[in-house]
Amino acid sequence: MNTTRVIYHLARADFLERVRRYSFLIMLGLVAFLGYQTAVGNITMRLDQYRGEFNSAWVGSMMSLISSFFLGWFGFYLVKGSVARDRETGVGQIMATTPLTRILYMFGKFISNFSVLVAMNLVLAIATIGIQLIAGESTQINLFSMFAPFLFITLPVMALVAAVAVLFESIGFLSGGFGNVVYFFLFIFIFPLADTLSKTNPAFEPLGMGLIQQSAGEAAKATFPEYSGGFVLGDPATDESLGIDFEPASYIFQWDGVDWTPDIILKRFSFIAIAIGLTLVASIFFDRFDPSRRKPKRIKNSASISTPQIVSASQTLSQPVHLTPLTISVNHFAFLRVLFSELKLLLKGQRWWWYLIMLGFFIAGLRNSPETARQFILPFTWLFPILIWSGLGNREMHNNTQQMVFSSASPLWRQLPAQWLAGFIVTILTGSGVAINLLSAGDTVGLLAWFSAAIFIPSFALASGVLSNSHKVFEVLYVTLWYLGPMNKIYPVDYLGANSNGNIGFFIPFSIFLIIIAFVGRARQLQN
């Protein structure tokens, strides 16, 4: 068996399947939107109040850093899930019967992940030419200066992301929603920690910002000795003189790009070697779709399981079948019963330590000051149940029970409201300690913000689950919103009211809108 041929065909088939999915098209649209925002000046790169001329080196470096950050963050969630899809569809079990080894399978998935991310980067790389021409400051296109940052900065990052996605899928407890949350915090907290490394050896800083900052900073320092060493990648400054046009010529300096020495290139490509190493590690943990290597599900009462009796066909045919018609009392809809069932499904599988931690959050929210409870206790309290909320609206698809649920009587008006209300009850119960604290302190504003968030969270989860048929969308978007709003004090998205009034006038109507969207989405599912 030709190893290269096997990996190629495995990666090719997986890549073609992915690029035909709606998630790929949506991410491709977001990447194109990033390029547009950069072209119109809503996203830019500057060093304090200075920036380089919009030549090939500057625009190429700016776009490569934007791509490294955006696809390094969200690209992981795009490519993760290929192994799980093979397991759910039964393709993995078929592959397990072939001579395909774990290493070859993992490398095929790694190359497929990498190819998908590279395809995204190609869109931004091509858009870079248009951005330079739109800026109109330099009409001379230098292809090497423009595309070298993509080759030496962005591609190694994409290789790391592709390998980490494969590694997470091979480790049982990281393959699901917990792994999605873990990666978010790894990206947020580990990458910034590389700031120290970027000052000592910028080429080893994963995202490449330190390398660009050092090279461009030297050019800025040569032109403007007062340059203090700042670096910003994002929104332009509010001062008109610091907009995309940078009309005052005194703020513009000439920079021809990073001097790509063999030493720098070797250090950047070392991340690809690390990615290959992570893929090899992933092959060690990969179970090769062997059910004996997976932890069996716990059975609460094995004694109640009896051996099924074998009934012959003649016995079955000789026995008359009597079907009892449903009476009015039996057919009567009991909402509380459905609600109780949805609550049991939400909390199913939670271990004793989960309830113990939630009890700790309750006591902490109750015993601390209202300010501390709002700013610190509540954000973490309402982050911990994220894997419970993420099941709202998509549990039927995930467990392949949609035929049963959707064929029941009035599933749109019976099951879906009960599902939202179950999520709402879980939200209230987990955050009740903070609510009691705010109520006893007379903090009406904080209590209203708390109530607004209690409505928003299950609404957001339900709409995300129904529209995407996946738990991943809510997990990614919610933890991002949590990080930007309550933790980084961006007040418009502070849905908890941790550092503000909670923006009640927006989130309550928006929650109602999300519920309507969920109902419309479920109605479309029922029609299909």
Residue 445 inside a domain? The answer is yes
| Same structural domain, 277 and 412 | no
- Domain extent, residue 381, equals 333-527
| Same structural domain, 231 and 354 | no
Q: Which residues contact 289 (CB under 8 A, 6 or more apart)?
A: 86, 87, 92, 93, 95, 96
Beta bridge partners of 233: 45
Residue 79 inside a domain? The answer is yes
| Same structural domain, 359 and 214 | no
Which pLDDT does position 280 carry in this prediction?
A: 94
Among 119-128, 196-205, 333-342, which stretch is predicted with the lowest mean pLDDT?
A: 196-205
Q: State the pLDDT confidence band at 404, using cuts at 50, 70 and 90.
A: confident
pLDDT one-digit tens code per residue, 138-172: 888 889 999 999 999 999 999 999 999 999 999 98
Residue 300 inside a domain? The answer is no
Task: Return the DSSP state at 394.
Answer: T
Residue 299 inside a domain? The answer is no
Which pLDDT does position 40 carry in this prediction?
A: 72
Judge contact between 66 and 246, C-beta under 8 A: no
| Cα 493-180-199 angle, rounded to 5 deg | 80
Residue 165 inside a domain? The answer is yes
| Same structural domain, 285 and 349 | no
| Same structural domain, 284 and 351 | no
Which pLDDT does position 302 carry in this prediction?
A: 42
Residue 196 inside a domain? The answer is yes
Residue 311 inside a domain? The answer is no
Domain termination site, one of 292, 319, 349: 292
| Same structural domain, 347 and 474 | yes
Q: Which residues contact 303 (CB under 8 A, 6 or more apart)?
A: none
Q: How many domains does the chain have?
A: 2
- Residues of the chain with pLDDT > 90, as a percent, come to 27
Q: In this structure, what token pair is assigned to residue 242? A: 């610091």
| Same structural domain, 382 and 266 | no
pLDDT one-digit tens code per residue, 245-284: 444 445 888 888 899 999 999 999 999 999 999 999 999 9
Q: State the pLDDT confidence band at 473, using cuts at 50, 70 and 90.
A: confident
pLDDT one-digit tens code per residue, 295-349: 555 544 444 444 445 545 455 445 565 666 655 554 455 778 888 888 998 888 7
Higher pLDDT, 436 or 123: 436
Domain termination site, one of 264, 292, 320: 292
| Same structural domain, 26 and 124 | yes
Domain termination site, one of 240, 262, 292: 292
Pairing mode, strands 252-253 and 51-52: parallel
pTM of the model: 0.76
| Same structural domain, 132 and 278 | yes
| Same structural domain, 461 and 354 | yes
Task: Provide φ and ψ at 237, rounded to 5°.
Answer: -65, 155
Residue 325 inside a domain? The answer is no
Which pLDDT does position 321 carry in this prediction?
A: 59
